[in-house]
Structure 1
Amino acid sequence: MYQSEHALEELTISQLVAKGYERIQIKDDEVLLDNFRQILNERHMDKLKNEPLTDAEFDRLMTQINGKSVFDSAMILRDKFVLTRDDESKVYLEFFNTEKWCQNKFQVTNQVTVHDTYKGRYDITILINGLPATQIELKRSGVAFSEAFNQVERYRRHNFTGLFRYIQLFVISNSVETRYYANSDKEINKSNMFYWSDEENNRINNLKEFAETFLEPCHLAKMIARYMVVNESDRILMAMRPYQVYAVEAIINRALETNNNGYIWHTTGSGKTLTSFKASQLLAKEPGISKVIFLVDRRDLDSQTLAEFNKFEKGAVDMTDNTHTLLKQLGDRSKSLIVTTIQKMAHAIKRQDPVMAQYETEKVVFIIDECHRTQFGEMHRLIKQQFKNAQYFGFTGTPRFEENKSQDGRATADIFEKCLHKYLIKDAIRDGNVLGFSVEYINTFKNEVDTTNEEYVESINTDEVWMADERIQMVAEHIYRNHHKKTRNGQYSAILATQKIPMAMKYYHALKALSEQEGKNGLKIATIFTYQPNQDMRDGEVTEHAKDQLESVIKDYNKTFGTNYSTDTYNSYFADISKRVKQGIKDNKIDILIVVNMFLTGFDSKVLNTLYVDKNLKHHDLIQAYSRTNRIEKETKPYGNIVAYRNLKKATDDAIQLFSTTDNTETVLSQSYDSYLKVFLKTLGELYTMAPDPSSVDQIEDEEQQKTFVETFKQLSKTLLMLKTFDEFEFDEAILEIDQQTYEEYKGKYLHLYEETKKRKEADKVSVLDDIDFEIEIMRNDIINVSYILNLLREINLEDKKEQNKMRQQIHDLLDKADDENLRLKRDLIRAFLDKVVPTLLPGSSIDDAFMDFEEEEKQKAIESFSKKFEYPQQQLNRLVSEYEFSGQLDRSEVGKPLAGGLLTKRKKIDEVQTFIKETSKIYSSEM
């Protein structure tokens, strides 16, 4: 029987075979083991001295490598394995050639069936040297993309045992949407699924194009060998994103083919640490490079970057401030990669130790983190003087340009010459690698202070205005009163950025007092800043030395968190604060951290979602500060909240434009709640004008007016969805000027018009609504959708008829309320399955298999019926449906080949066939 995914699998496999894969038939674990053993013997025939492994030898081998964790399997895959043969001799076996990745054996199979906790039948498996290396799970066009992900997760929980633990990558696709991600022993978040793209960051979504590029044998092997990271600290595999791969490739090519410098512009939050580590690691293996030195700035969160490096490679970093240790590393010829601070390197050079002499001529590569701020000064000059034959590669999310040039007047290109790869904030937001921002501007003055007039501002005592006790108290109360809304009742943390230390202290005391009024339920407030040992106390506003102020707040901190820090253990205090700003709601976390400059660059925390700003920011400082809030976490964090108590609107727009190379700031910024509300009310007014109440929609008979109603309601629905993303949203009739019940009734009329239009199409009537692209997804119900219903089907109890009937009725009731477009399309199909097939299934039957078979039978009936009715060749129709499910595209000339008639008649028939193919692909595409 023609299986539901057979055509898609066959087209994909045919493409892979054309790319160089050998197609084999592996139906179960036993055949898989035999295939692995055969290839292992073939690839090691010389080492085995033409004596294949005996049964006993192979059994010993499998005992040691089979059924391990995903992480341990990944380590085994990349290592040499020592096997003791029956005669006690040793032989070194290699499971995967990581250096010459093209020199591996590539095979592809499909429909491997296993019986683990539950029966599993996998779509397409790519094997490298007989080991399952990449698993491809497919859903046809129109299926919710999450279904493929959920299916893989089910297999990871219940299947994927034995040699399937060697899977390194998953690829999931519904033909038009394709992503890849790394395997893991731990829970995998959907945010870890990545798009593949070309070097210009253009997505390669279509499965056919993805297979042509990403799944090309050498490229896939290179991704596994070179562009995955085995994180030993967290015991996880990490797959690199496409822009990270292109950046590393660009650096390696530049380093090996030229003596020139370069820099990588990847937006803040896009994973520069992983990219820079991989570049450093690969360059360190090159024989022509004496040392690779990764430089970070000692300021802010250097310890975080260093800790990340140690995660990727244990012992890679010296965390001490001891210059002697660095000199020892420089003198150790076997140590090819050094991670240190620019300050420590400058001190080492100043000591004029003899060990430094060799580096005046040897080729050294410097990889420099946050190069927009670490490479403009005396220390960089010292390093260049010492390392005369060095190359410099910088990483930055916010380069220096003419608009934000450094104090010495230089731009990033003045030092690093060429930008080797770009991945901008608009790219990262589009790809879902970082969040956008919701910026709220709060005016803290009445009319007497015009903060937008620069000349006026310069003529007044700005500190007197900004730091007035009444203003500080007012802002502090506003922050405290609204903090639970911005952070979803404390689920997230916040930073308050202030202009200077005295302001930070004023806010600290004000917020601390508000917190103490609530007792145990109060917010946990902390602050941190650096101080000058010889602070000028003559400044009129300075009444207490900053060190004494810091000592005081650390004492408060010790009381709050049960710690024992002081200014003498400042680094430990800093590290503890860093940890607590990253902790979740159940932990003893900091709610609001008050800072001046610290933590506004380089600090990554998924549970930080809000930045309160009471300081002037612009250009790279603004983007860096805002970007503390936009790390991907989960759906309850849709964007980074910025609450600005100064008019930073122009500065924000300028910075977004500068670092997005676009004038369209909407690419990054969501509009305010009030702006969306205005659009909603305006659109609602237009709706009321044409239909004062839901029942009056029935009186709209003119098709042009119906079209206007549909488009108006669609806009209303889109705007409502945007409003729902804001914490302050409530379906309040006093605000929205419509109650929820009335809105639902209007929606029902909208859906009715959709059905009526479809009926008119089927009756071959001309309608002005035919060109409308109905987007019912805009009103999608996230609970009652295709995935939800299909999961319910799986839970039907086939052994208890009473429970079975109860569940069937429950699903019928849910289908009656279907709000999801895909589910509405498949409603009749699912009902027929419930009533015709489910009652006939025996206990122990696979509902998954039964549904897939039923779906395919119904699909074939629909194709046969259409073929007869329209006198269209059934074989050609089957082929076109399969092609559309695979590529998401239809060739009109191919559709029209079997059709006769004049130009207009033929065009009409082609439209009818195309409509049928698209509808059929949507309806019969709900694999489980």
Structure 2
Amino acid sequence: MSYSEETLVQTTTANYLHDELKWESIYAYNQEDYGENSLLGRENRKQIILTRYLERKLRELNPNHPDEAYQEAIRTLTDYSVSQSLPKINQEKHNLLRDGIQVSYRNEKGETVKPILNVFDFETPTNNHFLAVRELWIEGRLYLRRADLVCFVNGIPLIFMELKNIWRSLRAAYEENYLDYLETIPQLFYYNAIVVFGNGYDAKMGTIGSLFEYFQDWKRLQESDAGVVNMETLLKGVCNENNLLDLFENFILFDDSSQETVKIIARNHQYLGVNNAIEAVKNRQALAGKLGVFWHTQGSGKSYSMVFFVRKVRRKLGGNFSFVVCTDREDLDNQIYNTFAGCGLANNDCDPCRATSSNNLKQLLQERKACIFTLIQKFKQAVDPNEPYNERDDIIIISDEAHRSQYGNLALNQRNTLPNASFIGFTGTPLFQNDEITSRYFGDYVSTYDFQRAVEDNATVPLYYDARGDKLEIATNDVNERIAEKLEALEVEGDVERRIQQALKSSYGVITAEPRLDAIAQDFVRHYANGWEMGKAMFVCIDKITCVRMYEKITHYWQEEINRLQQQLNSITDQQEAVYKQRQIEWMEETIASVVVSQDQGEVQKFREWGLEEELNFHRNRINNGFELTDGKLISLETAFKDANHPFRIAIVCAMWLTGFDVPCLSTLYLDKPLKAHTLMQAIARANRVYEGKITV
């Protein structure tokens, strides 16, 4: 017996598909002839769609149309523009296969009719034709290649499998064969939904355009399973007739929220978790609207799970469902909206769906919107339970990080506005055992994917806690305490700045020491860059000289962080995490930091003594003239900082803008200056405003 790739893996895989999963199986190598009545009905090796099977299913699934209608549908599927990229063709073909192909003809009465012909029967998967073809010759423009295993559904090549001997690594399948096929026979992937690499024991699946690190295991058939990494589990989970059609119809996304459109398929835990949530929606009346808590740990693709959930509910349970996506932080609101918009489920510019105020939220809730995005703070208006905004029972409220904000007056107002809505809570952290409030509002867990399981599945990496003070290694606690005591004793009236300088006279060198400022700048960059879409930041320094010094350090370490993230991007093993990481890098690259300080007599000499005269000129010019817009006009620093859409996101100040300066989109205040009680409260107030303006990033 020959222990070849074919004997050990290909034949075994094809037999498993046939015997266990009821696929038809054909061995094509040196067996295929060509023509209408040939083995596969192909005209030649360039043809990738098996039109014989496709036409047969088009007629079965869409009866009573003339021949020209079926031929037009086939032409629409097989035609493509040579100027289009492979990802773009794949996206267009996916949409046609999922949503159907519109054709046009004149009926017997001479009327023009435009029916949509379905390619697949998603409601009854067994009505489709499943065919696995081994060793299929495919001819490209210049090269001829033989694919190990291509799986056709109704004549459409949805699955490509590259199989290796059991002692070969899956990376070899990716690097030695798959990448070559993308270049030499790209038409094989125009209609592809899933790419599988296997060696008989191990297997991974993913989508075209994915790096090898993004290909994932399929370890569980049920959420309660312990999880086993092997090829059989993947075949059962992905190639099962019901699961394959479900994955194709409801669990593939094309996200264009970053510079390039990315094709994403649900990971194992997302597929199982979302389907659990779908069952809860079906049973929402019995559950009294408490759909449950969807706990998937941080980094496991929670925002994409929301998109999968919303899309499947609207597609499978009725198109009239509306969703209110509610968060308690602007950065989360931005992140989730951008994901929905990137996947084509929302467009605030064309169809306003983001609440800009409490009154605007009321208006949106009274309309039949598909999706509404809001902060729970916008439910601040008390609502009479007898006068709700909307009494529909097909509204679902998705509360992100539900346990933080599902109680109190805001949550009560939310429920009074939509008394018949159903609630599902999405969270990345587990609920406490005594958290009865969350269970009371949302019900029990509908899906769990905890941190340990995510680590085991390589969906996230282990997290470790470091005390920030220990990490910075700047022992100034005693100095801070002495300063605080002196400031506490200062009078409210009088020359506060002079008094502060006097109080700090003996400790100024410690507070402004180079190693300390370096450590603080690095810590600021790590913290703010890690939060990225959280909003704008204000960094408060002890004086103007330190503001300029801190600017130099922050901009230096900011670029270092960008470089580090770009290197990290190359080693990420999670495709969905990579999309977010790319967004973060783009956000950081466009972010602007600027010093904002008032003028002083003699400041030039003061900065010259520190060797910062040139830097002062740069900042003074920017403070006086602002930023230049694309049309050549200038915008002041104040206007730019108050504009949530402007990339001026980091203001470095010492006194200006600390009082009487409201910036609703300011989310974080970094204090490295001792402040008096009233000044401290004024400074804190810069960041505590509820932002009800338009939020876009």
TM-score above 0.5, yes or no: yes
Q: Which residue of 1 aligns with 2:252?
A: 228
* CA positional deviation for 1:224: 1.0
* CA positional deviation for 1:513: 0.5
Tell me if 1:294 matches 2:325: yes
Tell me if 1:397 matches 2:428: yes
* CA positional deviation for 1:180: 1.1
- Bigger Rg, which one: 1
Q: Which residue of 2 aligns with 1:83?
A: 103
Within a 5 Å distance, the mapping from 1:446-595 to structure 2 comes to: 470-471=510-511, 473=513, 476-479=516-519, 504-506=540-542, 510=546, 512-513=548-549, 516=552, 555=623, 564=635, 566-568=637-639, 570=641, 572-573=643-644, 576=647
Change (3 A) 1:143 1:468: farther
Q: Which residue of 2 aligns with 1:196?
A: 218
* CA positional deviation for 1:239: 0.3
* CA positional deviation for 1:25: 4.5
- Asked if 1 retains the 8 angstrom alpha-carbon contact of 2:58 and 2:70, the reply is no
CA distance in 1: counterparts of 2:450 and 2:474, whole angstroms: 35
* CA positional deviation for 1:136: 1.3
Tell me if 1:158 matches 2:184: yes
CA distance in 1: counterparts of 2:421 and 2:233, whole angstroms: 40
What letter is aligned with 2:181? Y
Within a 5 Å distance, the mapping from 1:270-419 to structure 2 comes to: 270-285=300-315, 286-287=317-318, 291-317=322-348, 318-319=353-354, 321=356, 326-333=361-368, 335-347=369-381, 350=383, 356=388, 358-359=390-391, 362-401=393-432, 412-419=438-445
* CA positional deviation for 1:358: 4.4
Q: Which residue of 1 aligns with 2:684?
A: none
Listed one character per residue, the Cα deviations across residues 55-74 of structure 1 (whole Å, up to 9, x for unaligned) are: 97577445536977111111
- Asked if 1 retains the 8 angstrom alpha-carbon contact of 2:129 and 2:153, the reply is yes
Q: Which residue of 1 aligns with 2:59?
A: 44
**Unpaired stretches in structure 1, ≥5 consecutive residues:** 529-550, 581-595, 601-610, 615-928
Q: Which residue of 1 aligns with 2:22?
A: 20
* CA positional deviation for 1:401: 1.9
Q: Which residue of 2 aligns with 1:756?
A: none
CA distance in 2: counterparts of 1:54 and 1:146, whole angstroms: 44
% same residue = 17
Q: Which residue of 2 aligns with 1:4?
A: 5
What letter is aligned with 2:54? I
Listed one character per residue, the Cα deviations across residues 806-864 of structure 1 (whole Å, up to 9, x for unaligned) are: xxxxxxxxxxxxxxxxxxxxxxxxxxxxxxxxxxxxxxxxxxxxxxxxxxxxxxxxxxx
What letter is aligned with 1:121? R
SS at match of 1:176: coil
* CA positional deviation for 1:381: 1.0
Change (3 A) 1:104 1:554: farther
CA distance in 1: counterparts of 2:346 and 2:57, whole angstroms: 38
Choose which of 233, 241, 245 in structure 2 pairs with 1:217: 241
Change (3 A) 1:111 1:152: same
CA distance in 1: counterparts of 2:520 and 2:321, whole angstroms: 55
CA distance in 2: counterparts of 1:505 and 1:215, whole angstroms: 60
Q: Which residue of 1 aligns with 2:43?
A: 30
Tell me if 1:121 matches 2:155: no
User: What RMSD, in angstroms, separates the aligned Cα atoms of the two structures?
Assistant: 5.1
Change (3 A) 1:91 1:435: same
Tell me if 1:74 matches 2:94: yes
* CA positional deviation for 1:362: 3.0
What letter is aligned with 1:321? T
Listed one character per residue, the Cα deviations across residues 512-534 of structure 1 (whole Å, up to 9, x for unaligned) are: 41554999999699679xxxxxx
Change (3 A) 1:502 1:182: closer
SS at match of 1:365: strand
SS at match of 1:321: coil
- Asked if 2 retains the 8 angstrom alpha-carbon contact of 1:371 and 1:395, the reply is yes
Listed one character per residue, the Cα deviations across residues 361-415 of structure 1 (whole Å, up to 9, x for unaligned) are: 6353211122232323311011123333332111111244269x7xxxx664353
SS at match of 2:160: strand
* CA positional deviation for 1:576: 2.3
Listed one character per residue, the Cα deviations across residues 417-442 of structure 1 (whole Å, up to 9, x for unaligned) are: 31222222333333333334566643
CA distance in 1: counterparts of 2:323 and 2:555, whole angstroms: 53
Listed one character per residue, the Cα deviations across residues 205-254 of structure 1 (whole Å, up to 9, x for unaligned) are: 21123212322121111111111123366544310111111221121212
CA distance in 2: counterparts of 1:178 and 1:62, whole angstroms: 30
Listed one character per residue, the Cα deviations across residues 273-300 of structure 1 (whole Å, up to 9, x for unaligned) are: 1111221233345349753322223533
SS at match of 1:280: helix
* CA positional deviation for 1:554: 9.7
Change (3 A) 1:569 1:200: farther
Change (3 A) 1:189 1:38: closer
Q: Which residue of 2 aligns with 1:422?
A: 448
CA distance in 1: counterparts of 2:336 and 2:12, whole angstroms: 45
* CA positional deviation for 1:567: 4.7
CA distance in 1: counterparts of 2:424 and 2:556, whole angstroms: 50
What letter is aligned with 1:375? Q
Q: Which residue of 2 aligns with 1:135?
A: 160
Change (3 A) 1:553 1:131: farther
CA distance in 2: counterparts of 1:502 and 1:47, whole angstroms: 62
Q: Which residue of 2 aligns with 1:444?
A: 473
Tell me if 1:263 matches 2:293: yes
* CA positional deviation for 1:42: 4.0
Q: Which residue of 1 aligns with 2:654?
A: none
- Asked if 2 retains the 8 angstrom alpha-carbon contact of 1:201 and 1:427, the reply is no
Greater Cα offset, 472-481 or 279-288: 472-481
- Asked if 1 retains the 8 angstrom alpha-carbon contact of 2:539 and 2:672, the reply is no
Listed one character per residue, the Cα deviations across residues 607-648 of structure 1 (whole Å, up to 9, x for unaligned) are: xxxx9999xxxxxxxxxxxxxxxxxxxxxxxxxxxxxxxxxx
- Asked if 2 retains the 8 angstrom alpha-carbon contact of 1:81 and 1:93, the reply is yes
SS at match of 1:30: coil
Q: Which residue of 2 aligns with 1:906?
A: none
* CA positional deviation for 1:460: 9.1
SS at match of 2:330: coil
TM-score, normalization by structure 2: 0.64
Q: Which residue of 2 aligns with 1:632?
A: none
- Asked if 1 retains the 8 angstrom alpha-carbon contact of 2:389 and 2:418, the reply is no
Task: Name the count of aligned residue pairs.
Answer: 543
CA distance in 2: counterparts of 1:425 and 1:557, whole angstroms: 50
- Asked if 2 retains the 8 angstrom alpha-carbon contact of 1:137 and 1:152, the reply is yes
CA distance in 1: counterparts of 2:370 and 2:425, whole angstroms: 19
SS at match of 2:51: helix
CA distance in 2: counterparts of 1:34 and 1:288, whole angstroms: 32
Greater Cα offset, 66-75 or 55-64: 55-64
* CA positional deviation for 1:135: 0.9
Greater Cα offset, 227-236 or 416-425: 227-236
Within a 5 Å distance, the mapping from 1:769-780 to structure 2 comes to: none
What letter is aligned with 1:319? R
CA distance in 1: counterparts of 2:305 and 2:90, whole angstroms: 23
Listed one character per residue, the Cα deviations across residues 777-796 of structure 1 (whole Å, up to 9, x for unaligned) are: xxxxxxxxxxxxxxxxxxxx
Listed one character per residue, the Cα deviations across residues 339-377 of structure 1 (whole Å, up to 9, x for unaligned) are: 333233554x749997x4541x63532111222323233
What letter is aligned with 1:193? F
Change (3 A) 1:83 1:565: same
